[in-house]
Amino acid sequence: MLKEVLLVSPRGPCAGVNRAITIIEKTLEKYGIPIHVNHDLVHNTFVVRDLQKRGVIFTKDIDSIPENSVYLFSAHGVSPQFREKAEQRNLHIIDATCPLVTKVHKEAEKYAHEEAIIFFIGHKGHPEAEGTTGVTQMYLIESKEDVRRLNPENFDDGKPMYILTQTTLSIDDTAEIISSLKEKFSNIKTPPGKDICYATTNRQSAIKELAKQCDTIIVVGSKHSSNSNRLVETARSNGVKAFLVDDFSDVSEGILDSSEILGISSGASVPDILVENLIGEIQKKYPNVKTRSLDVLKENVEFGLPNI
């Protein structure tokens, strides 16, 4: 029987997501519809559906977009080749790429100028991975198994070697892959700053603290959201049941009825209203349930806006 709900922070939208949503709101205000966006602006079903209802068109097919149209690059970034193709179409480009993704692209450019060998840890097919691996030639690594398959004899020992990562990965899994790469290549280096972003790091750290105080965790987030899935994995690896839901409609009665202390978090693309609605529905079902906050750390990161 559910007795208590713990709402952890930090959770929810990060500075990059808030920036992207502010950018598209200002773009709608200035230009009206239609506005085209490559991929999803951010990986959240609620946000994308709301924008679609307002006339925003999500498409990666640049050739289908009329020339001179307003075109936003999503928060996940694009490859230089994709950017060039958009420019050739005479599209009015507004770049909502998260600055922390841009940072990784610039690192890749720097290492390319050094003619370095680059290993990129990320998820094949994810738009951020597609954008970053398009900056220059690099080797995509998804797991320790990929590292095991690498033959050091196929690489030039005289060239510098670097590791870059997608910004939304599991901290623990990535650390293991980096360790494996360092065991195989003694001269390999990681960037001075961490590529996994502050929000991903903080939310996973918060989940670990939350797992110490509850038996079940619900993560609000969409199934195609990398950082939301990593939160669920982090919770499970710390010994609690964990479930990923878009909203309350995805929560089965069995999840709630089998829990005494329920923890709640949300991915970095999730509007606060979805968490508020979830808690409201839980309180309707369990009017005597206690709700309290678990504040693990504070965030105060903000990013500036581009010219719109």
> CA angle, 43 as apex, 42 and 49 as ends, to 5°?
80
Judging by beta carbons within 10 Å of its beta carbon (0-12, 13-18, 19+), is residue 169 exposed, middle or buried? buried
Which residues, in sequence order, are bridge partners of residue 71? 36, 93
Query: Per the residue annotation, which of 107, 128, 130, 233 is the catalytic one?
Result: 128
3-state SS assignment for residue 159: coil
Q: Which of 110, 212, 117 is nearest to 158 (CA)?
A: 117
Percent of the chain as helix, strand, coil, to the nearest 5: 40, 20, 40
What is the CB neighbour count within 10 angstroms for residue 127? 24
What is the CB neighbour count within 10 angstroms for residue 70? 20
Q: Which of 124, 168, 121, 128 is nearest to 39 (CA)?
A: 128
What is the CB neighbour count within 10 angstroms for residue 197? 26
128 is catalytic: yes
Active site residues: 128
